[in-house]
Amino acid sequence: MARLFACLLILLLGGCGMAVSEKPMFAEADAAGAPTPADGIWLIRDKADCRFDEAEPMARWPACASWAEYRDGRWFEPVGGRGPTMKPLESDILLVGGKVALMQIRYAEGIDGTGKDPVYFFMAFDNPAGDRKLKSIALWPVMCGTKIDYKTAAEERSPEPVVKKRYPGFDEKCRPASQKALRSAASASRPEPSKLLRLEWMRERQG
């Protein structure tokens, strides 16, 4: 899970157009009716070439395997990347319901990595029907506008794709003005299926 946030921070620093806020856009009251992950071990499917026997204890999983535990409404990550000792994830995560659900993530280190100015960014996923516990989540980042590929654009000298057109309700720093703006941007930001970041429930915690 920590690796997930590290990857997202790189996106933020790259200026690729992710929605970001210095203050939370949602509070605990907004979490009413939100989907809930199943308690247990979750694996982040971010590397197609990371192959291993998932039935083995987590301590035997290779370093390329990025996993976390969800328990009692909180996420925990393995100390040293392997476990079995776990620690609470430093970044706060709040799930908000809706046809397209939102994940508000408080990144304590902030964009500059100093920890002085925490930031919030947002992921989206399709909210399955019914009230069953989630066992699979296909995430995408909420963007503040459409992008243009620098390789074919006039901005070719830019190291990253740039925002071509901002979605309604976002300023020049990709800050949303309202929850409505965020929700609309979440739907508009949906990428092709191959670019979704997949989190999968593996099993209940043993021991």
pLDDT digits (tens, 9 = 90+) for 165-203: 889 999 988 899 999 999 999 999 999 998 888 899 999
| pTM of the complete model | 0.82
CA dist., res. 101 & res. 105, Å (int): 13
| Strand-strand pairing, 66-71 and 86-88 | unpaired
What six digits make up the tokens of 80?
Answer: 């040293």
- The rounded Cα 141 to chain-centroid distance in angstroms is 7
Q: Please report which confidence band the pLDDT of residue 149 belongs to, taking 50, 70 and 90 as the band edges.
A: low
pLDDT tens column, 4-23? 555 555 544 444 688 999 99
Are the beta carbons of 120 and 178 closer than 8 angstroms? no
Q: Give pLDDT, residue 103.
A: 94
Q: How many residues does the chain have?
A: 207
pLDDT band at 78 (very low <50, low <70, confident <90, very high): confident
Q: How confident is the model at residue 32 (pLDDT cuts 50, 70, 90)?
A: confident
